[in-house]
């Protein structure tokens, strides 16, 4: 009885292996049509906005951070499609610029675009220039906070590499 159980156990454990082996060679030689080219992980483009700035997710809005020629930083508030300006009332914005362990806070003042009225603005700008260590918009790294009607949303700006 024990011998029959051992034999039955061996047969049952080998059967799935034998059943999974095909009788003929079903492999296929790959061609160029089968090949897919993908970019390496490090090679990617970052999304830029209508002012060629860096895009930041800010809740239901997007922000576009731009380093101007006078070295001031401008935040444009854009819609979800990152195409159109969204003028907002009762809004403040800040940028906390990070450089290693140091952080510098910049209050961004409302500077309404032409046609933006009734205390609404989609553009916010620093009063003074950013430090000389920031050579271009890609050097801006930190956090942008947009506060609309008392509700704050923060998004990270800058490259992780």
Give the count of beta carbons closer than 10 Å to the beta carbon of residue 82.
Answer: 17
Report the share of the chain in percent with pLDDT over 90.
54
Residue 34 main-chain phi, psi, to 5 deg? -80, -20
Who's near 10: CB < 8 A, 6+ residues apart? none
Domains of the chain: 54-157 (2.60.40)
Whether 40 has a pLDDT exceeding 50, the answer reads: no
CA-only gyration radius of the chain, Å: 29
Residue 111 main-chain phi, psi, to 5 deg? -130, 85
Q: For position 161, what pLDDT does the model report? A: 40
Structural contact between residues 51 and 62, judged by C-beta atoms closer than 8 angstroms: no
Find tokens 């490090």 and name the residue. 42
Question: Which whole number is the average pLDDT over 132-136?
Answer: 83
| pLDDT mean across residues, the chain | 81
Whether 78 has a pLDDT exceeding 90, the answer reads: yes
Q: Which of 65, 88, 87 is nearest to 75 (CA)?
A: 65
Q: For position 39, what pLDDT does the model report? A: 40
């Amino acid at each position: 009885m024990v011998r029959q159980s051992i034999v039955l156990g061996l047969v049952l454990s080998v059967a799935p292996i034998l059943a999974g082996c095909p009788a003929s060679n079903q492999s296929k030689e790959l061609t160029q049509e089968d090949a897919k080219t993908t970019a390496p992980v490090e090679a990617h483009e970052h999304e830029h906005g209508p002012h060629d700035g860096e895009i930041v997710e800010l809740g239901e809005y997007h922000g576009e951070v731009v380093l101007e020629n006078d070295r001031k930083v401008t935040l444009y508030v854009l819609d979800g499609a990152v195409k159109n300006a969204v003028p907002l009332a009762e809004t403040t914005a800040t940028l906390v610029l990070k450089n290693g362990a140091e952080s510098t806070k910049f209050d961004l003042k409302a500077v309404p675009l032409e046609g933006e009225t009734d205390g609404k603005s989609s553009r916010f700008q620093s009063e003074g220039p950013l430090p000389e260590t920031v050579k271009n918009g890609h050097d801006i790294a930190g956090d942008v906070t947009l506060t609309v009607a008392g509700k704050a949303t923060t998004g990270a700006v800058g490259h992780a590499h």
